[in-house]
Amino acid sequence: MTLKKRLFLLALIPLILSTAIILFIVWQMVSMSSAGENDVDILTDIEALNSDMLIIQQSLANFSLSPTENNRLNTQNQLMETESFIEDLLSRLPNGEQSEQLSLIQSKFSDLTFTAGESLDQGNVSETNRQAARVGGILNDLYLLTVLADDWYAASVNETARQISFIVIFSLSAVAVIVIVSLITSMIISKRITDPLNRMLTQASRVAEGDLTVEIEESAKKSKFEIHLLNQAFSNMMLNLRDTVLSIHEVSDQVAGFAEDVSKKIVHLEESGSQIASSTEELAKGSQSISEDIQDTSERMTVLQSTFQQSEELTSRSAVKGNEALKAVQNGQESLEQQKHFTKEAATASSSIKKELETFSAFTSEIQEAAEFVREIADQTNLLALNAAIEAARAGEQGKGFAVVANEVKKLANHSSDATDKITSMVLNIQNGMSGILDAAVQGEKLSSHQLSSMNETESSFKQIASRVQSIDSELSTLVNSMQESMTYTVDVTSAIENISAVTEQTAAGTEEISASADEQQLAFKEVSQAIHQLQEMSLRMQSQLNQFKIPNRGE
């Protein structure tokens, strides 16, 4: 039953009972009035009948003194009218002594009418006078009838007084019953309205304090009662809010774990970057040494051209230097392979960071959708509270308590909306931070790709250097074995050394670029580390905001 029907029933029950009592009193009063009028008419008619009998007696006496036609007709008419009047009065008298007495009078009067009628028609004055004397007997009977009627009227008046007393007592008793029934009905209906509202008010206060462990009793069967519907809506809102907070807790834990994993990977990448930078520095030193050796070899080849006599000694020394250069190139190739391995690991780590960040970005989108869902629930609750306030205003004084509860529900909906705004703001901050981290990860991936490409070029250059140094070593060996032929190839050797010097310079430049890329990569790693630190701080702030809610254990 709806609240409107309950309130209508509360007002209708006293009205129906009051109307029934009023109708009963009116019916009793009408009955008493009708009975009183009938009693008065009977008494009046008996007195009138007594007067008619006196008139008939006088008319018969007049006829006996003056037997005129006019007196005869008047007397006969009077007899017939009186006889009709007696019949009418007999039909209206209640059964009992009065009716029997009037029947006796009617019998005597009928006999009188018949005998007097004959004497009047015959003009028998003595008989008429005798019939006039008989009227005196009927008058005696009428006197007895009058006494009986007076007694009956007195009894009727007493009965009327008793009925009036009964009506008064009944009215007072009925009013008392109406008051008691109205109070009991009001208490029952009010209790059924206020008890759920008081329970919801207590539960809403606990929810407003952040206690989401509140258990709300739901009605076992479907009901159209607005209070039950409000309780059901409040229960659904509580369940949705509890699920949302639990989901945010889980996502926050995942964010914290993810940030910790990423931080560890960043530390590992920084260590790898430091190793790459160290290897690059060693490679640069080796390239510088190679360049110096090649320049020295070029100078010695120039001296070889001017002082060919010392060519054998100088050639031997050049062979030694060539072997050293070959070893340096081999060492450079090994360092380059190690650096290439580290670069691939850095690229893999950057790609992993990018994927993890994209996954986390999807989590933040789910958090934002959950927050929007909570906002929609708060808006619906606010609208329900507004409708409840309107219904309470329509109910007047009896709806004040309901209006207070509706106001509290509205405040709760506003608090939920404010909390949703805070969560949405935090999610936006997380998304902004994640966007910066994702950009940094993409930049690191690009730098790793460029570094890997540069390493491939450097490796190709080292292969060329190794090939050229091996060629130089072979030529120097040939030069030692055949000094006579060395003059012919001196120019070619000088040209080859110049090419080696150019390649060495290119290698040094590539090494410097690799070193710069490693520095940029370390800077990018630092930026990613700072962003991860900001993400952890935001996660802690979100945990602090969520700690104000008291929720059941995750396993419950």
Higher per-residue confidence, 497 vs 351? 351
Shared-domain flag, residues 156 and 291: no
pLDDT at 84: 92
Domain containing residue 145: CATH number:
1.20.120.1730
Residue numbers of the domain that contains 482: 272-379+425-542
Shared-domain flag, residues 183 and 296: no
Q: Does any domain span residue 283? A: yes
- Say how far apart CA 95 and CA 98 lie, in whole Å: 7
pLDDT at 555: 47
Q: What is the pLDDT of residues 78-117, one digit of tens each?
A: 999 999 999 988 888 876 788 888 899 999 999 999 998 8
Q: What is the pLDDT of residues 275-288, one digit of tens each?
A: 766 766 676 666 66
169, 191, 213 — which closes off a domain?
A: 191
Shared-domain flag, residues 180 and 291: no
Q: What is the pLDDT of residues 152-206, one digit of tens each?
A: 878 777 887 888 888 888 888 888 888 888 788 878 877 877 877 787 788 778 7
pLDDT at 80: 92
Shared-domain flag, residues 372 and 491: yes
pLDDT at 10: 65
Who's near 325: CB < 8 A, 6+ residues apart? 290, 293, 294, 469, 472
- Say how far apart CA 373 and CA 369 lie, in whole Å: 6
Shared-domain flag, residues 352 and 463: yes
Who's near 519: CB < 8 A, 6+ residues apart? 277
Mean pLDDT of the chain: 75
Confidence of residue 40 (pLDDT cuts 50, 70, 90): confident
Q: Does any domain span residue 232? A: no
Indicate the number of domains in the chain.
2
Higher per-residue confidence, 157 vs 319? 157
Higher per-residue confidence, 178 vs 540? 178
157, 191, 225 — which closes off a domain?
A: 191
Question: What is the pTM assigned to this prediction?
Answer: 0.32
Please check the confidence at residue 480 and state whether its pLDDT lies above 70: no
Who's near 282: CB < 8 A, 6+ residues apart? 335
191, 215, 230 — which closes off a domain?
A: 191
Using an 8 Å Cβ cutoff, are 500 and 294 in contact?
yes
Q: Does any domain span residue 445? A: yes
Shared-domain flag, residues 43 and 153: yes
Mean pLDDT on 337-353:
75
Handedness of CA 508, 509, 514, 518 (dihedral sign): positive
Please check the confidence at residue 471 and state whether its pLDDT lies above 70: yes
Which has the closest alpha carbon to 104: 74, 60, 148?
A: 148
Q: Does any domain span residue 250? A: no
Q: What is the pLDDT of residues 489-537, one digit of tens each?
A: 666 656 766 676 676 677 667 667 766 766 777 776 677 677 777 777 7
Using an 8 Å Cβ cutoff, are 108 and 138 in contact?
yes
Q: Does any domain span residue 80? A: yes
Q: Does any domain span residue 471? A: yes
Q: Does any domain span residue 412? A: no
Shared-domain flag, residues 10 and 124: yes
Q: Does any domain span residue 532? A: yes
